[in-house]
């Protein structure tokens, strides 16, 4: 059926040594970048106009989201990253570029498309809880011209890339023509590549190294309801066959994670999160750390365990959060 693990049999020092090697890792991220906007406030009354809370706004903040949050996690952990994505010719697009440059990230892979807006997710948060979210976006496939520019940038920068992450938020960047071009480039160069998917046609991602759906996405892709270890094992095997990946990592919220490798069965990883305040961006952290771990020489099981530690840290923070290397090493040491 599988093996249930915590840190039993896992070498803590090896995990910490991998984190200390992250500075030598460079990850290319390709996908849907967005700006996450947070409006923070308090609720003390109900509107007389409708049965809804009135939020007294106290503060506002903006940060990179989607593929941008993956990049932010990579830099936060001491590695290097580049990003290939599409923004609009608008104020939020300029903010995306500005925030990337502040991280030290090259912006040569950022394509500006005047026909579409930069994706913005705005969350109203009161007393630590989201009240409502509204999105401004265009989810149509990106143009042929934008696809060509992204593929050109990828081809030009693969030589010094340790691994590639596909961060798919179904906003139009990850489409069949782009994936066909990427598959040809990545298979030729034998690069580790990982995919954090949205549920559509998983044939887009055939042949990837690591595939990281959450449990709901895994259920939707396989048509198997996951309500036991046995059903999870069946879903994992079907995922591997459908995507033809080397390994699938299913994230399961408070139930932890499950890694399914070819010929290895299911490897269950219990959560290490002490408190869960906000799961926003947790999937970005998981795929960033999982991929960085593989690039730093860890096995898939070791990299997944490291990603689980990182997820346990980030869900204890409110908003789109990242993990620092010192936090990750401290979490491993103190388990």
- 48 inside domain: no
In the predicted model, what is the mean pLDDT of the chain?
89
Respond yes or no: is residue 284 known to be catalytic: yes
**Mode of pairing for the β-strands spanning 265-269 and 2-4:** parallel
Q: What is the pLDDT of residue 281?
A: 61
Q: How far is CA 17 from CA 77, 91, 298, 311, 325, in A?
A: 13, 41, 10, 19, 11
Please pick, among 36, 196, 278, 284, the residue that the annotation labels catalytic. 284
Q: In which band, very low, low, confident or very high, does the pLDDT at 9 lie, cut at 50, 70 and 90?
A: low
Is the pLDDT at 24 greater than 90? The verdict is: yes
- 50 inside domain: no
What tokens were used for 245?
């990946």
Q: What is the pLDDT of residue 274?
A: 55
Dump the DSSP string for 79-114: -EEEEEEEE-SSHHHHHHHHHHHHHT-B-TTEEE-T
- 46 inside domain: no
**Mode of pairing for the β-strands spanning 247-251 and 257-261:** antiparallel
- 155 inside domain: yes
Q: What is the pLDDT of residue 4?
A: 45
Number of domains composing the chain: 1
- 135 inside domain: yes
pLDDT tens per residue across span 229-285: 899 989 998 998 999 999 999 998 878 899 999 778 789 998 775 555 445 567 899
Residue labelled with tokens 């697009």? 93
Residue that wins the pLDDT comparison between 33 and 321: 33
pLDDT tens per residue across span 129-162: 888 999 999 999 999 999 999 999 999 999 899 9
Q: Are the C-beta atoms of residues 111 and 96 closer than 8 Å to each other? A: no
- 45 inside domain: no
Q: In which band, very low, low, confident or very high, does the pLDDT at 293 lie, cut at 50, 70 and 90?
A: very high
- State the residue range of the domain holding 205: 2-40+55-334
Is the pLDDT at 178 greater than 70? The verdict is: yes
- 167 inside domain: yes
SS3 137: coil
Count of alpha carbons within 13 angstroms of residue 54, beta-carbon side: 8
Q: Mean of the pLDDT values across residues 45-53? A: 90
- 49 inside domain: no
> CA end-to-end span of the chain, whole Å?
26
CATH of the domain at 135: 3.40.1190.20
Q: Are the C-beta atoms of residues 218 and 235 closer than 8 Å to each other? A: yes
Helix extents (H) in the chain: 12-20, 67-76, 91-103, 144-157, 176-189, 215-222, 229-243, 282-295, 300-314, 325-334
pLDDT tens per residue across span 106-131: 999 999 999 999 999 999 999 878 88
pTM for this one? 0.90
């Amino acid at each position: 059926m599988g093996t249930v693990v915590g840190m039993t049999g896992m070498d803590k020092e090896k995990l910490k040594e991998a984190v200390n090697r992250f500075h030598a890792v460079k990850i290319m991220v390709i996908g849907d970048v967005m700006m996450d906007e947070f409006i923070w406030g308090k609720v003390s009354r109900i509107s007389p106009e409708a049965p809804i809370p009135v939020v007294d706004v106290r503060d506002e903040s903006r940060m990179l989201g989607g593929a941008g949050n993956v990049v932010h996690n990579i830099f936060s952990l001491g590695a290097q990253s580049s990003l290939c994505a599409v923004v609009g010719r608008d104020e939020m697009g300029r903010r995306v570029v500005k925030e990337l440059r502040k991280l030290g990230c090259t912006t040569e892979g950022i394509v500006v498309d005047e026909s579409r807006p930069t994706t913005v997710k705005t969350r109203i948060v009161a007393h630590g809880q989201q009240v409502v979210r509204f999105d401004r976006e265009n989810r149509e496939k990106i143009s042929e011209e934008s696809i060509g520019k992204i593929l050109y940038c990828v081809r030009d920068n693969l030589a010094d890339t340790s691994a590639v992450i596909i961060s798919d938020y179904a906003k139009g960047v990850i489409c069949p023509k782009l994936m066909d071009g990427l598959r040809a480039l990545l298979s030729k160069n034998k690069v580790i590549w990982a995919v954090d998917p949205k549920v559509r046609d998983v044939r887009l991602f055939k042949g990837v190294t690591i595939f990281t759906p959450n449990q709901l996405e895994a259920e939707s892709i396989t048509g198997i309801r996951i309500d036991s270890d046995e059903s999870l094992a069946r879903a994992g095997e079907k995922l591997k066959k459908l995507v033809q990946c080397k390994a699938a990592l299913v994230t399961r919220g408070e139930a932890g994670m499950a890694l399914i490798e070819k010929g290895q069965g299911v490897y269950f990883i219990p959560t290490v999160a002490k408190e869960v305040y906000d799961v926003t961006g947790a999937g970005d952290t998981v795929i960033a750390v999982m991929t960085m771990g593989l690039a730093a020489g860890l096995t898939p099981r070791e990299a997944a365990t490291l990603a689980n530690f990182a997820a346990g840290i980030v869900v204890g923070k409110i908003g789109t959060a990242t993990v620092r290397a010192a936090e990750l090493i401290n979490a491993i040491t103190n388990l």
